[in-house]
Amino acid sequence: MITRFATAALLLLASLSTNAQTNGSALATDMASRVQACVACHGAEGRASAEGYYPRIAGKPEGYLYNQLIAFRDGSRQHAAMNGIVQHLSNDYLLQMAKYFAAQNPPYPAPAKTTASPSELEQGKRLVFDGVVSRKIPACAACHGQALTGVEPYTPGLIGLPRDYLNAQLGKWRNGQRKAADPDCMHALVKALSPAELNTATSYLAAQAVPPNSKAAPANSIQFPLKCGTHTTTAAPNLGTVSPEPIALNVLSAQETRGAYLARIGNCAGCHTANPKKPFAGGRAIETPFGPIYSSNLTPNPETGLGNWTADDFYKAMHSGISKNGDYLYPAFPYTDYTKMSRAEVDDLFAYLKRLPAIVQKTPEPELQFPFNQRPLLAVWRALYFTEGEYKPNTQQSAQWNRGAYLVNGPGHCAACHTPRNTLGGLKDKLNLSGATIPVLNWFAPALNNHPVHGLGKWSESDIAAYLQNGVNRHAATYGPMSEVIAHSLQFATESDTNAMAVYLKSLPAQAPSENESTGLGQRTLQPLMQRGENIYANTCAECHGKQGEGKANQFPALAGNVNVIAPNPVNAIRLVLNGGFSPSTQGAPYPHGMPPYRVELSNTDIAAVVTYIRRSWGNSASGVASVEIDKQRGMQ
């Protein structure tokens, strides 16, 4: 339950991407519009990008595409843009994407003119079709089919791909950046070949024209020479949403089930899981302005987790911020909020954690700068910023209001992101939930109060409740770190609890963010930027978001009046234009639309221009954005 200053509770209420709640038939007819985030790089219908770096995905075997999407989502295959785009999508949606692109069959372009010599091409051809018998290296065609167009359901084709892409992927197999399920025959085979040999093979493959209407060979049409993990399914399709329970709920006692629910509401796994295969085992770096702190192991392992903790030890940590050994806990762990939880609920949570599979994983030591690495000094911080005590109901308010106040300010710890902090990391209580830029991670968390421009003033209670559970409502949809909170936490909240949170948030008095606008441009600079931005918007954005920024219902949100567009810090708009992405798959909105990334297509000046334009058009009146602000964000995901 240690929280990032951004990840665990970032309610990005009104982002620039969107979801749509649909049934299966609507999905089948609307996939082309939903996968715009994919075709921006992979080309229309997945036919490959013009510059050749991004591969063709159209017509590849469905099982292969599905497994690659799973690998990108779960991190076993690394590509920053891909990892970010699919990270909160369900198995079911990834399977639907795989089905869509596998069914596409646009024509292949002619192969690029080769620079390889005839002898190099001949050597490459021998490797592809004969292998190296003396070294027991099988031919590429033995697994990928004699036509080199792949084999259903998991083996991809090798022709119709640019040489640069082929070389890049073989290089990743060679150095271990790309992996398959054991036994990883691709890694072994590529390691057995020299770079020169691999170059001849890729030169030959890239020079081959693809026959019209070519398809992957049927399953079981060839006998694979090796038992190889690439030919086995690595993820089972299911209809569930992301973030499965680490232990089946039907085996839990009533108390443990209540604890499992609290773990969801607090998004404990979000911070205490570094490796998806080791849920709640800790080790995730929580970035703070003072250095990284690593989340602890919450599993019942006696050496590295909570195995030797008692219920009293756990309550002392949650309620008082003091560890079993008497150390003060760093406030990156939000005991400042958890102190409001009742003893009964803390006991429920502890009972659930004790039922988790015990995992051996030692928690790394914090890497804090001096003097922040001196735990005794936390006594001063606690005296200034920590008030211990369980939540006391407001007798002037309804039971529903009090439940919402408790959830928002207790286990939900929303203030951790939506309230500004001072230089020592203390929350500015007088500005509670008024919106703030998250330290280090640099996302802006909007106001959660009733402010008509920067907060929830235009949202009804039902709008707020729908957003919290589905990640989408009639005004907006989530993007950025809030996607993690929706995907792994709030979508599992009960209807009564999301309604209670909505009632409480809607009651908060209007208060605008206290931050000054982080950029400011003179009129002489603004005028040409606005003109350039208007042209880019008309050619790139208007088809989805409307000529007047009005958006399209249930598809793409309005930009006029969007709190992330007009926030004092423009970082959310900048990062979405750069990186694109999908809102999370949820039970209420399982198949979200995607926003294309424009980091390659648009220059820093172009992105600065279009972000400036949307921040200052259709009634929006925020500051302009300089190109240097775009450059700062290019390295962020």
118-231 homologous superfamily: Cytochrome c-like domain (1.10.760.10)
pLDDT band of residue 9 (cuts 50, 70, 90) is: very low
User: Per DSSP, what are the bridge partners of residue 427?
Assistant: 421
- The reply to whether 118-231 and 523-633 are identical in fold is yes
For residue 22, the model assigns a pLDDT of 42
Query: How does residue 351 score in pLDDT terms, banded at 50, 70 and 90?
Result: very high
pLDDT band at 12 (very low <50, low <70, confident <90, very high): very low
Cβ neighbors of 308 (< 8 A, separation 6 or more) are: 302, 324
- Structure confidence by residue, pLDDT tens digits, 419-467: 999 999 999 999 999 999 998 889 999 999 999 999 999 999 999 999 9
Sort residue 136 into left (φ over 0), alpha (ψ -120 to 50) or beta: left
- Cα–chain-centroid distance for residue 260? 23
What is the 3 state secondary structure string of 465-486?
A: HHHHHHCECCCCECCCCHHHHH
Domain 523-633 class in CATH: mainly alpha
Residue 405 to residue 340: CA distance in whole angstroms: 10
Which of 29, 41, 148, 167 lies closest to 100, judged by CA?
29
pLDDT beyond 90 at 634:
no
pLDDT above 90: residue 182: no
Banded model confidence at residue 13, pLDDT cuts 50, 70, 90: very low
Q: Which of 212-221, 223-232, 320-329 has the highest mean pLDDT?
A: 320-329
Dig out the tokens for 435 from the structure. Answer: 């919106």
272, 306 Cβ separation under 8 angstroms: no
User: What is the DSSP code string of 8-63?
Assistant: TT----S-S-------HHHHHHHHHHHTHHHHHHH-GGG---TTSSSPP-TT--HH
pLDDT in tens, 98-123: 999 999 988 888 888 999 999 999 99
- Cβ proximity of 156 and 61 under 8 Å: yes
Tell me phi and psi for residue 608, to 5 degrees. Answer: -60, -40
Winning range, highest mean pLDDT, from 77-86, 340-349, 543-552: 340-349
Q: How many CB atoms lie within 10 A of CB 604?
A: 19
Confidence of residue 11 (pLDDT cuts 50, 70, 90): very low
The full set of domain ranges for the chain reads 118-231, 523-633
Percent of the chain with pLDDT over 90: 71
* 469 contacts 586 by C-beta, under 8 angstroms: yes
Helix, strand or coil for residue 614?
Answer: helix
The mean of the pLDDT values for the chain is: 90
pLDDT at residue 553 in the model: 72
Band of residue 95 on the pLDDT scale cut at 50, 70, 90? very high
Check whether 624 has a pLDDT greater than 90: yes
The set of long-range contacts for 282-286, using a CB threshold of 8 Å and a minimum separation of 24, is 282/361, 282/363, 283/361, 283/363, 283/364, 286/2, 286/3, 286/4, 286/5, 286/332
Q: Which of 225, 197, 205 is nearest to 165 (CA)?
A: 205
Give the pLDDT confidence score for residue 26 in this predicted structure: 60
- The rounded distance, in Å, linking the Cα atoms of 543 and 549 is 10
Reported residue count of the chain is: 637
Enumerate the H helices of 339-447 as residue ranges.
343-355, 378-385, 399-409, 415-418
N-term to C-term CA, the chain:
23
Burial-class residue 495 by CB neighbours within 10 Å (0-12, 13-18, 19+).
exposed
- Contact assessment for residue 174 and residue 191, using Cβ atoms and an 8 Å cutoff: yes
Choice among 47-51, 179-183, 203-207 with the minimum mean pLDDT: 47-51
pLDDT of the residue at 10? 39
How much is the pTM? 0.88
User: Does residue 336 carry a pLDDT above 90?
Assistant: yes
Is the pLDDT assigned to residue 547 strictly greater than 80?
yes
* Higher-pLDDT residue of 501, 31: 501
CA distance 321 to 388: 9
Could you give the C-alpha distances from 280 to 82, 322, 493, in angstroms and in order?
25, 20, 19
What's the confidence (pLDDT) of residue 4? 38
Taking a C-beta distance cutoff of 8 angstroms, is the pair 430, 449 a contact? no
Q: Is the pLDDT of residue 16 over 60?
A: no
Say whether pLDDT at 75 is over 60: yes
Is pLDDT of 19 > 60?
A: no
**Is a pLDDT exceeding 90 seen at residue 301?**
yes
- 10 Å CB burial of residue 452 (0-12, 13-18, 19+) is exposed
